Structure 1
Amino acid sequence: MRDRFVKRAGEAVAAGFLLAIGGLLVWILSTQVNYSLLSSRLIAGRFAEAFLLVLRIVAIGSVLSVSLGILVGLGRISTSRVTGRIAKGYVEFFRGTPLLFQLFVIFFGIPRLWATGQFPFENWAVPAAIIGLTLNHAAYVGEAIRGGIDAVPDGQMEAARSLGMSRVMALREVVLPQAWRNALAAIGNDQIILVKDTSLLTVIAVPEIMSVFRNINSNQLDPWTPLVWVCVLYLAITMSMSQLVNGLERRSDWGADSRMFGRLSGLGSSGDADGGEEA
């Protein structure tokens, strides 16, 4: 009876929450949104341009941050003290300071290192945004990769080394594929956060989605209508990325350690065969 009561109470709370949020959304959409303004070509066109710009920034930033994050994660587990400490310092700095601060340093600080008029970039906002997002999120990806590697049983490395693999080969062929699977959910969540972090780029004059919202709200004094566009566009990106991450997780779910053992056995057999040929 107690378990059933808790279950029914949870269902009642969830249903009440859904009704409250649904009712609020219906009220806002029916009374606060100007649909003629919402569908106007001018508004739609400005949001479309901002949406495409955000997509480009996210695509480049995601590829660069994951690539750099893998290197940072490998640096965190390096047997070299110098490499390990540098990687740790990188992670501590970019996780310990706000992204907004980092964007300000890159956007305002770096151009001041050149003499007036000598800075090579005329439009520095978008490159600064990509650099800031890449450096910031590479720290989080690096920690996800480090955690994924730590979650791989030590026996995997020992088995690979016993088959004659070097440490680098064992990492590449055995450990990293498993670490990637372990870290994929955390990396996917971080990349979705990267999408939402693009909303901060309005402070460095990047004409992204929130910047368009601010301009329209200032001109029309109507926050709810452009907010509908903001919500739809961000959800379009984040939900698509969620589906992509889910698909990658399904593809990388090998299901059983026996398959990895078979992989090791196959590598070992090929190594034996090579050894036999040499003999």
Structure 2
Amino acid sequence: MRDALVRRVGEMLSLAFVVVVAALVGWIVSQQVDMSLLQTIFPRFVTAFITVIQIVVVASLLSVTLGIIVGLARISSSPITSRIAKGYIEFFRGTPLLFQLFVIYYGIPKLWGVGEFPIVNWSIPAAVIGLTLNHGAYVGEAIRGGINAVPDGQMEAARSLGMSRVMAMREVVLPQAWRNALAAIGNDQIILVKDTSLLTLIAVPEIMDVFRNVNSNSLDAWTPLVWVCLFYLAITMSMSYLVSLLEKRADWGAEAEESKATQLKRMFMGNRGGM
């Protein structure tokens, strides 16, 4: 009875929360949102949305690629390589993304003389570089954790069959490590999308930049916030769906990987028995 009572109380509280939020949203939309302004500013938000999509796609691909390299460097048998990778991760995880963006956007051009920096529109390249370096550190740690979660015996089995360390890592360890790290990598890439809101501070014409301009000109905060919310949700929910598909695909391949690992173990044990 007590369990049923707790369940009922939880359901009632959840429904009450939904009702309160829905009522608040309905009141804001009906009383605070200017429908004519909402239509007028829509094209500007679409343009900013396309810019954000382009930045996210490029930065995501580069950060995942960099993260794989950094993750492999973290488990390298070379102490120099491992320590350099660890220092990279500690720096980019230990300092704010906004600081890193300022260093790249304002600091790098200062390394040239006045008017000599070769890139005219530096804001978008700086944004891509900053997001890539920052999130590459987080992906690297996720990859390292995924590799460490793979049993050591699988590397030993692959090496006993004549595979090089690189080949064993590519064919046996990394596919399983990727599956182990996929959820963490997916969450990090969703955070990357939300981090694009900081790019307005380095003059990138993204969604929050449009909001600031509309709000300053019209003194209306709630109307542009509607588009801010909808466009960010469109990106993050799409990425969540993509991550879910990748996780399901990884689960479909799990049995094949386990079968392959079992086969390697049997062959490894057979080789040891023969010796």
Q: TM-score range by the shorter chain?
A: over 0.9
Instruction: Supply the distance in 1 between the matched residues of 2:15 and 2:28 (Cα, whole angstroms).
Output: 20
Q: 1:79 aligns with which of 57, 77, 80?
A: 77
Match of 2:86 in 1: 88
- TM-score, length-normalised on structure 1? 0.92
Following superposition, the deviation at residue 262 of structure 1 comes to 3.2
Match of 2:228 in 1: 230
Task: Report the AA paired with residue 182 of structure 1.
Answer: N
Number of residue-to-residue matches in the alignment = 267
Instruction: Supply the distance in 1 between the matched residues of 2:266 and 2:5 (Cα, whole angstroms).
Output: 57
Q: In structure 2, do the counterparts of structure 1 residues 229 and 198 end up closer, same or farther at CA, with 3 Å as the change threshold?
A: same
Match of 1:139 in 2: 137
Instruction: Supply the distance in 2 between the matched residues of 1:65 and 1:90 (Cα, whole angstroms).
Output: 13
Instruction: Supply the distance in 1 between the matched residues of 2:254 and 2:79 (Cα, whole angstroms).
Output: 35
Q: In structure 2, do the counterparts of structure 1 residues 201 and 84 end up closer, same or farther at CA, with 3 Å as the change threshold?
A: same
CA offsets per residue over residues 88-133 of structure 1, 9 Å max, x none?
0000000000000000000000000001111001110000000000
User: RMSD over aligned Cα, in angstroms?
Assistant: 1.7
Alignment of 1:261-272 (within 5 A): 261-262=259-260, 265=263
- TM-score, length-normalised on structure 2? 0.93
Alignment of 1:69-218 (within 5 A): 69-218=67-216
Match of 2:19 in 1: 19
**Residue aligned with 2:77, SS:** coil
Q: In structure 2, do the counterparts of structure 1 residues 259 and 82 end up closer, same or farther at CA, with 3 Å as the change threshold?
A: closer
Match of 2:5 in 1: 5
Following superposition, the deviation at residue 4 of structure 1 comes to 1.1
Instruction: Supply the distance in 1 between the matched residues of 2:84 and 2:262 (Cα, whole angstroms).
Output: 33
Instruction: Supply the distance in 1 between the matched residues of 2:207 and 2:225 (Cα, whole angstroms).
Output: 10
Following superposition, the deviation at residue 226 of structure 1 comes to 0.3
**Residue aligned with 1:39, SS:** helix
Tell whether 2:32 aligns with 1:32.
Answer: yes
Instruction: Supply the distance in 2 between the matched residues of 1:64 and 1:49 (Cα, whole angstroms).
Output: 23
**Alignment check: 8 A CA contact 1:152 1:175 kept:** yes
Following superposition, the deviation at residue 266 of structure 1 comes to 8.1
Task: Report the AA paired with residue 34 of structure 2.
Answer: N
Fraction of identical pairs, as percent: 69
**Alignment check: 8 A CA contact 2:92 2:137 kept:** yes
Following superposition, the deviation at residue 16 of structure 1 comes to 1.2
Following superposition, the deviation at residue 255 of structure 1 comes to 6.5
Q: Which runs of 5+ in 1 are unaligned?
A: 270-279
Following superposition, the deviation at residue 163 of structure 1 comes to 1.4
**Residue aligned with 2:66, SS:** helix
Q: Which runs of 5+ in 2 are unaligned?
A: 268-275
